[in-house]
Structure 1
């Protein structure tokens, strides 16, 4: 067996293993978020939206994960003695229906995640439409490329790592990563600027909730963006580890919005009124402080 083929199989195994662990965490987060949303006093339509959105993402991830695991089980166990062994099976079955189904589920989850991030960016920037114009155009481009990749990957003997399917795939991942870099930068800049503006007024707990490190990591999808950069780098070079990185990146496409939904369910996510509420608190505290000073000096 060639070293490249062995490295690819190893990457598939490692990617599936890591993704399965993350999948378990996502199931827990979704269940806990659903419990909090059911018990909250938020408007019913809003609660149902986040429960349904998170459930749909979990379903898509389940399909993608089952596809990867089924592919590995067939390659390494059921048909390992076929002519050419696992390497030949890997090359001949990348366009099998279950693989295409899994790829379609993965890309659909990614599209939904990017859509949610675009909406969150819009909210965090105070519903300023001009801020999201460029990211929205990139989002439409990445969506188009992902659909083309899925269609091309369904062609018999097609390979998402080579040929036309790979070119569509690289374009999709590049546009998605570019979109995530821009949106992550916009959200991070916004939260840091607000943090700098109110850091002398708000308590440490308030700053931690809305503009702290955890808030920035969750709201901006920074881990997902960094992993996407690693994935596009390995994908373009065509190295075997791209398989593992791509599988893990696909799970992060569902983990990221689940963390945002958890913040929404916990009542600490940014909303349309968060900035105005913080600003009013700042003005109120500043006014109270000034009044106290005047009284003490009287």
Structure 2
């Protein structure tokens, strides 16, 4: 750290953050369990056609849940072993941290945490792609950003053993900045498409209730906004990691960032499961010739569940 400070202060803060982060991740895992249980119960109530449409979302939700539980459990094991094996004087904290960060358990924690993000991002890219598959040059932009982000994200995991080099932190900062760019791009594209659809629906439907479109946009914007804020803050703090104040801020943003990469896709899937979000792009999207249609045909076209 470039700022003069007592190293015991750093160790005390570090151990406190480990404990706080462990509690936050346990809470996130519990929330995911509740959400997946409710998603499963709603899924089992659906007719066979609707089940086929939403099976992918159920599988993605389960994968994120399992990875989240593994990551939280492995992270808790590492954190509490560091806390319990650190002497009261805190003098051996660096050696203890290095020892447990070099274990296979910590490698499991890091990899499963990254896999949660990869799956969640892939889901968002998929949703964006099916909404823009009539303009492949637009739909391909998030795909290309995702591939680049995935490659850099994998690079941040090499080596898996603990290291505190500036190079590794800069790779992490680049990874998160591209991650933020990806989410801004996806949210902008989906929101624009939904706004245009809302305008089309207002002309083609006699008594359309556009609240669901407003809610979908609000949900996507809110999720991406939170990820953007905490991701950007974490990236900036990582890029100036030698600063003590930045290190403190980094931990705050890290806890929010690691929580939202699990919760954001789960919230989207949750809304899909309860029939408050779209499943696939309607076949007659954006037709120039506007005709008057009834609400039942629109509901079928957008694959909404009318039962809530």
**TM class, shorter-chain normalised?**
0.7 to 0.9
Distance 1:140 1:91 in 2: 32
How far apart are residue 54 of structure 1 and its match?
A: 1.1
Q: Distance in 1 between matches of 2:92 and 2:274?
A: 50
Deviates more, 1:6-15 or 1:26-35: 6-15
- The offset of 1:44, in angstroms, is 4.6
Query: Which residue in 1 is equivalent to 2:11?
Result: 5
Inter-CA distance 229–193: structure 2 relative to 1 (3 Å threshold):
farther
**Structure 2 Cα separation of the partners of residues 257 and 203 of structure 1:** 33
- From 237, 244, 256, the counterpart of 1:248: 256
What is the aligned partner in structure 2 of residue 81 from structure 1? 87
Change in Cα spacing, 1:193 to 1:72, as seen in structure 2 (3 Å) is same
- What secondary structure, in the 3-state scheme, does the structure 2 residue paired with 1:153 have? coil
The 3-state SS of whatever aligns with 1:269 is coil
Cα contact 2:117–2:261 (8 A) shared by 1 = yes
Gaps (5+ residues) in structure 2?
1-6, 242-246, 295-308
Which residue matches 2:188?
185
Matched, 1:28 2:29: no
From 67, 72, 92, the equivalent of 1:60 is 67
Aligned residue in 1 for 2:235:
232
Contact 2:231 2:257 survives alignment (8 Å): yes
Normalising by the residue count of structure 2, what TM-score does the alignment of the two structures yield? Answer: 0.78
Asked if 2 retains the 8 angstrom alpha-carbon contact of 1:149 and 1:168, the reply is: yes
Q: Residues of 2 paired with 1:267 and 1:128: CA distance?
A: 27
| SS of alignment partner, residue 84 of structure 1 | coil
Match of 2:141 among 127, 134, 152: 134
1:201 Cα deviation after fit: 7.5
Q: C-alpha displacement at 1:56, in angstroms? A: 1.0
Residues 1:269 and 1:141: Cα distance change in structure 2 (over 3 Å): same
TM-score, normalised to structure 1, is: 0.80
Aligned residues: 279
Which protein has greater RCO, CA pairs closer than 8 Å, 6+ apart?
Answer: 1
Structure 1 residues 184-193 or 268-277, which shifts more?
Answer: 268-277
| Aligned residue number for residue 266 of structure 1 | 274
Quote the Cα distance in structure 1 between the aligned partners of 2:125 and 2:255: 23
Question: 1 or 2, which has the higher helix percentage?
Answer: 1
Residues 61 and 251 of structure 1 are in contact (CA less than 8 Å); yes or no, is this contact kept in structure 2?
Answer: no
Q: In the alignment, what sits opposite 2:298? A: none
The aligned counterpart of 1:118 is: 125
Please list, as runs of the form range in 1=range in 2, the aligned pairs for 1:135-174 lying within 5 A after superposition: 135-154=142-161, 158-159=162-163, 161-174=164-177
**Given the superposition, is the C-alpha separation of residues 203 and 124 from structure 1 closer, same or farther in structure 2, using an over 3 Å criterion?**
farther
Shift of 1:192: 3.1
Q: Cα RMSD between the aligned structures?
A: 3.1
Q: Secondary structure at the match of 2:152?
A: helix
Contact 1:60 1:108 in 2 (8 A): yes
Shift of 1:150: 1.6
- Answer whether contact 1:234 1:241 (CA < 8 A) is retained: yes
Over 3 Å counting, the alpha-carbon distance change for 1:47 and 1:271 in structure 2 is closer
Report the counterpart of residue 210 of structure 2 in structure 1.
207
Q: 1:134 to 1:49 in 2, by over 3 A?
A: closer
